[in-house]
Amino acid sequence: MSFLFPLGFLALIGIPVLIFIYIIKNRYTEQTVTSTYLWTLSEKFLKRRIPINRLTGILSLILQILTVIAVALILAHPIITVPDSAEAYCFVIDGSGSMNIVQNGETRFDTAKKEIVNIIDDSMLGSSYTYICAGDTAARIFENDTDKSHAASLVEKSTVSYTSSTLTDALRIAQDYFEDVPYAKIYLLTDKDFENVQNVEVINVAEPVENYAISDVVYDLGEQAIKGKVTSYTGDVDELTVEVYLDGSGDAARTETVRGVDEEGKSAPIKKLEATEFSIDCKDFDFADARVRIAQKDVLDMDNEVVIYKLENQNFEKTLLISERPFFMTRLLNAVGLYDRSATDVGEDLLDVIEPSAYSGPAGYGLYIFDSLDAEFINDLEMPGEGAVWIINPRGNFKNSNFSYQGEVVRSDYEEEDPDVQEDDSFKSDLVGVFPDKTGRSSVVDEQLKGIPVGINYHLRRYSKLSVSGKYYELSTCDGNPVIFSGTNAYGNREAVFAFDLHEAGDLVLSGSLVLLVNNLISYSFPQVVNNTLYYCGDTLQINMITDCRSVRIETPSGSLKFPDTSSAVSEYVLDEVGTYKIYLVMKDESERLLNVWSSLPLEERNPVEPAAASFTISGTPSEAHLDGLLDNLLIIFIVLAVIVVADYGVYCYEQYQLR
Amino acid sequence: MNSLVVNEEFLSQVELLETLIKNNVAGQFGGNHKSKTYGSSCEFSDFRDYIPGDDINKIDWNAYGRFEKLYIKLYLDERQVHTRIYIDASRSMSFGKGKKDEQAIKLAATLAYISICEMDKVSIYAIHGDRVDEVIVNMLGRESYFNNIGKLNDIVFEGDSNISEALLPSTVGYGDGLSVIISDFLTDNSLDPAIDHLAGKKRDILCVQVLSADELNPKARGKLHYFDCENSDKFYRKNINREIINAYKRALDYTTGKIRDLCLSREGQYMLVASNESLQEIFFDKMINMGVMK
């Protein structure tokens, strides 16, 4: 026998204390009386007492001492070692997404955890416990823990993930453990079937349940329709209903009944495990986000819905065009697909077009396009300290821009009033712009902006001669002068400059190259923060760090906040939950931009009864050895203690009765 | 001890009482107690034949007229008795709050007064150890009573007492009255020799046992170490509980019963008196009921 806490015997100090108290308390009070004759005589009239009754005087003390001894024993926690009676348990729990399936009112993961806790509770004291959780990543949560309650509490605290199974990694960890502890009893708790298992006891927590899933949902820009697939995992089903909720609305905007198709092309039930396509027409409505879900209830809700966030709504901001003649610019913006609208739609949401007289200063736009405005007029107003700036056909020095105005270069025979001059080919050799200009500096940005397959020469009637300062990207030149360039102004805004009037650029405005250039400039002005809005759990989300962004805050579907590293150009974050991730970009001016992306449950985790999977084999020969078990059942001590306390109380009551 | 204060009103009440003397009264002087012998009292007793030499004044001439024979009229004799009161003057009588000594002195004074009123002689003694000390001797008449009764205050209660050893060698008289022993009788010493001695001397015997309320019904509980006030070598050490109290009461009953039986077997009287009991109750109730007084 050994003692877990030998210091508990310090409680035995209570025995001399008790004896001291007993002596103090039981001191005889001395009194002088008239005569002791009657008292002495009374001895003869006392009933004869059996010798053991003489102990009654100190019976209470004896019982109290026994109580102290029992308490000391409890504190010292006596342990009896029982050789070869305990085990080294190793639990491998499947923490993949499918373990979220609810059956009998609890998730499979919870069921598995209960199984583990039950095994721990029923195990012999002295056993050791190792816990490997195959969640987002396979990790050994604890190893050779001999504290039952501690091990059970850690098991209880472990959480399921939403990603694909990492049981392969868990197997490797378990294999390493088995090589160190060949007598270990390894349990695998999962909802998957394995063809081959060795040295592992598999506890399959899966039960036949009903589950449907929606997958491969996309918004087809061309057909303006939401497309996707539905799958029944547990059996044939006549039909499934897909509902579409727009922009957070609680009412379904569209409801589509999905049925399968037989070989003859006729309507048929949706077959088990057979993905059935659906398409929902969305021509009649516009949306920023669309929640597409299966109406039928099943055991795994998180694979029943997908939220589509339009990428352009996520990445682009509103643009303000200040122009007296916005025709060409609006057409260019339409042509690049930024605003996929008919001409009449422009300006309704992402593009605002105003007259110069209506501009009174920056007003929260992401891009300001100043078209053919006098510098004096602009300089009298506040320049944007935010977003990007395009200056078209500058006529003077713009405050804090990256160029200085040197004057206007005009073709000598150009007569503005003479419309026929434009038709005369004889002047075309005078002012020839080169686009793109391949002679400039070469950088990633430069190459991106000039990423135009076919270059052209174009003719100008006139342009502003601008002297460029600071860092800029020269995109087009005319007679050696930069006429299209981009850079950063003194405010830090990304700036693009067209040193000519689009209305007088002749063949340039008719070329596809200019459309591509505008497209590139749009990307330059509005760097894409995310490239996609639909992910699977376990995917890595890449966030492009745009210039004005100071920090990034990610709110996960469960509501927790994450702050990814933003020190590099691309910040990465692994999506480990199912649902909408809200990405907040905190800009330099403390304003915030919100982007949403959707993370779906991985396809392989949707099947509630996973068909036979790969093997889970721990190689090696198990040892017959065991750990030494410990017996620390203190129940008997508690019972003895209780009896002693009750007896002591009985003696006390008897003494009080006697002294009446 | 508080000084004895004679309550004259109470004394006037007890004047009406008489002591009942059972034994043949053999006093030397005439008194109020009838003797078994013929004497010169006014109370007729019997006739007998005249014998020459008899006082011719006692011849009943009426009887001679009827029977023509001389008869002498006999009258009962009335004698004066000598009441002897013995007070146990041991320390146990005065120790503590029981005031047994006061009660003993009051009893002695009252009994003495009753005897004085009956024209008897009264002597009061204090028993110290093995001896009898005279406190008041041959007190006769009220004047003498009031002159001497204050001497009771001079009794010093100390030491122990052995009633038998003290009485046996002392003068106790013969057939001439009542012997009263006032004590708590809480002693190992046997009382039998004293009672036998007094009975042998044809004395009427009255034993008055005076006990305090705490002795009659002890209230103490718990672990106690009692020392005897008369002898510190004697002690009693016990956890006083209900069982011991019951044994104590049985011991008390045994002791009082033993003395009572002893007295009754010698045609004496025994009376248990509590130290806090009133004299009215003792004399007008207990003593009359017991036949000690009438």
The nearest CA of chain A is from the CA of B247 a distance in Å of 5
Q: In this predicted structure, what is the pLDDT of residue A345? A: 42
Q: Does B252 touch chain A (CB under 8 A)?
A: yes
| Interface contact A34-B95, CB threshold 8 A | yes
Specify the DSSP element, H or E, that contains A522: helix A512-525
- Dist CA B256 CA A393 (whole Å): 142
Strand order in the sheet with A252-258: A252-258, A240-246, A289-294, A305-309
For residue B246, which residues of chain A lie inside 8 Å, CB to CB?
45
For residue A31, which residues of chain B lie inside 8 Å, CB to CB?
220, 224-227
Confidence of residue A307 (pLDDT cuts 50, 70, 90): very high
Specify the DSSP element, H or E, that contains B211: strand B204-211
**Alpha carbon of residue B69 to chain centroid:** 47
- Dist CA A293 CA A272 (whole Å): 19
For residue A42, which residues of chain B lie inside 8 Å, CB to CB?
244, 247-248, 250-251
For residue B243, which residues of chain A lie inside 8 Å, CB to CB?
46-47, 658
Least Cα distance to A108 among A198, A211, A197 occurs for A211
**Alpha carbon of residue A316 to chain centroid:** 23
**CB-based contacts of A314: which residues, under 8 Å, 6+ apart?**
A529, A530, A533, A595, A596, A597
- Which residue has better confidence, B56 or B251? B251
Helix residue spans in A123-222 (DSSP H): 148-157, 167-180
| Interface contact A36-B234, CB threshold 8 A | yes
Which of A28, A37, A46 has its CB closest to that of B237?
A28
Residue A360 amino acid letter: S
Which of B224, B235, B251 has its CB closest to that of A29?
B224
- Which residue has better confidence, A310 or A68? A68
> Poorest-confidence range of A117-121, A231-235, A308-312, A368-372?
A308-312
| Interface contact A658-B215, CB threshold 8 A | no
Using DSSP's 3-state secondary structure scheme, residue A147 falls into coil
Mutate: best of B92, B94, B162, B186, partner A, most A CBs <10 A: B186
Backbone dihedral region for residue B245 (phi beyond 0: left; psi -120 to 50: alpha; all else: beta):
alpha
The ipTM, to two decimals, is 0.82
- Dist CA B138 CA B49 (whole Å): 39
- Dist CA A276 CA A560 (whole Å): 35
Which of A27, A46, A657 has its CB closest to that of B244?
A46
For residue A290, give both structure tokens: 């669309």
| Interface contact B251-A33, CB threshold 8 A | no
Q: Does A656 touch chain B (CB under 8 A)?
A: no
| CA closest to A656 among chain B residues | B241
Mutate: best of B229, B235, B252, partner A, most A CBs <10 A: B235
Q: In this predicted structure, what is the pLDDT of residue A386? A: 66
For residue B255, which residues of chain A lie inside 8 Å, CB to CB?
37-38, 41
Q: Cis peptide before A83, with omega less than 30 degrees from 0?
A: no
Least Cα distance to A552 among A519, A580, A530, A521 occurs for A530
For residue A57, which residues of chain B lie inside 8 Å, CB to CB?
239
| Interface contact B225-A36, CB threshold 8 A | no
Hey, CA dihedral for B194, B195, B196, B199, is it positive or negative? positive
- Which residue has better confidence, A257 or A82? A257
Identify whether the C-beta of residue A392 lies closer than 8 Å to the C-beta of residue A501.
yes
Burial (CB count within 10 angstroms: exposed 0-12, middle 13-18, buried 19+), residue B229: buried
Q: Please check the confidence at residue B85 and state whether its pLDDT lies above 70.
A: yes
Burial (CB count within 10 angstroms: exposed 0-12, middle 13-18, buried 19+), residue A421: middle
When pLDDT is averaged across residues A524-530 and rounded to a whole number, the result is 77
Q: Does A657 touch chain B (CB under 8 A)?
A: yes
* Phi, psi for B158 (deg, rounded to 5): -160, 165
Greatest Cα pair distance, chain B, in angstroms, is: 87
| Interface contact B236-A30, CB threshold 8 A | no
Q: Does A45 touch chain B (CB under 8 A)?
A: yes
| Interface contact B228-A38, CB threshold 8 A | no
| C-alpha to C-alpha distances, A531 to A228, A458, A516, A597, nearest whole angstrom | 20, 34, 19, 10
| CA closest to A58 among chain B residues | B239
Q: What angle do CA B140, B143, B146 make, to 5 degrees?
A: 100
- Dist CA A279 CA A218 (whole Å): 10
Q: Does B97 touch chain A (CB under 8 A)?
A: no
Calculate the average pLDDT of chain A: 82
Q: Does A265 touch chain B (CB under 8 A)?
A: no
- pLDDT tens for A434-460 read 777 666 555 666 666 776 666 778 888
Q: Out of 3.40.718.10, 3.30.470.10, 3.60.15.10, 3.40.50.410, select the CATH number for domain B8-25+82-289.
A: 3.40.50.410
* Domain ranges, ordered by start, for chain B: 8-25+82-289, 37-75
Which of A31, A41, A46 has its CB closest to that of B226?
A31
Q: In this predicted structure, what is the pLDDT of residue A346? A: 38
Using DSSP's 3-state secondary structure scheme, residue A196 falls into coil
Q: In this predicted structure, what is the pLDDT of residue A610? A: 61
Least Cα distance to A612 among A132, A195, A191, A168 occurs for A195
- Dist CA B40 CA B43 (whole Å): 8
The residue to which tokens 């480990």 are assigned: A576
Using DSSP's 3-state secondary structure scheme, residue A524 falls into helix
The nearest CA of chain A is from the CA of B158 a distance in Å of 11
For residue A30, which residues of chain B lie inside 8 Å, CB to CB?
224-225, 227
- Dist CA A28 CA B220 (whole Å): 12
For residue A261, give both structure tokens: 């198709």
Least Cα distance to B141 among B112, B161, B163 occurs for B112
Q: In this predicted structure, what is the pLDDT of residue A16? A: 92
| Interface contact A28-B223, CB threshold 8 A | yes
- Which residue has better confidence, A369 or A286? A369
When pLDDT is averaged across residues A332-338 and rounded to a whole number, the result is 72
Q: In this predicted structure, what is the pLDDT of residue A359? A: 85
Q: Does B228 touch chain A (CB under 8 A)?
A: yes
- Count of C-beta atoms within a 10 Å radius of residue A311: 19
- Dist CA A306 CA A252 (whole Å): 14
Which of A28, A37, A47 has its CB closest to that of B224?
A28
Q: Please check the confidence at residue A341 and state whether its pLDDT lies above 50.
A: no
Q: Please check the confidence at residue A40 and state whether its pLDDT lies above 60.
A: yes
> Poorest-confidence range of A44-58, A590-604, A615-629?
A44-58
Q: What angle do CA B30, B35, B40 make, to 5 degrees?
A: 50
Q: Does B247 touch chain A (CB under 8 A)?
A: yes
Q: In this predicted structure, what is the pLDDT of residue B34? A: 60
| C-alpha to C-alpha distances, B119 to A504, A515, B31, B268, nearest whole angstrom | 172, 162, 6, 22
Q: Does A24 touch chain B (CB under 8 A)?
A: no
Identify whether the C-beta of residue A221 lies closer than 8 Å to the C-beta of residue A340.
yes
- Dist CA B268 CA B262 (whole Å): 8
In B166-185, the residues whose Cβ lies within 8 Å of chain A are: 184
> Poorest-confidence range of A275-279, A428-432, A540-544?
A428-432
The nearest CA of chain B is from the CA of A651 a distance in Å of 14
- Dist CA A213 CA A217 (whole Å): 11
In B105-164, the residues whose Cβ lies within 8 Å of chain A are: none
| C-alpha to C-alpha distances, B12 to B81, B113, B116, B241, nearest whole angstrom | 21, 10, 12, 47
- pLDDT tens for A573-600 read 999 889 999 999 887 778 788 889 999 9
- pLDDT tens for A363-404 read 777 788 988 888 777 777 666 666 788 999 988 888 778 888
In A56-75, the residues whose Cβ lies within 8 Å of chain B are: 57
| CA closest to B100 among chain A residues | A34
| Interface contact B248-A27, CB threshold 8 A | no
Q: Please check the confidence at residue B221 and state whether its pLDDT lies above 70.
A: yes
The nearest CA of chain B is from the CA of A38 a distance in Å of 6
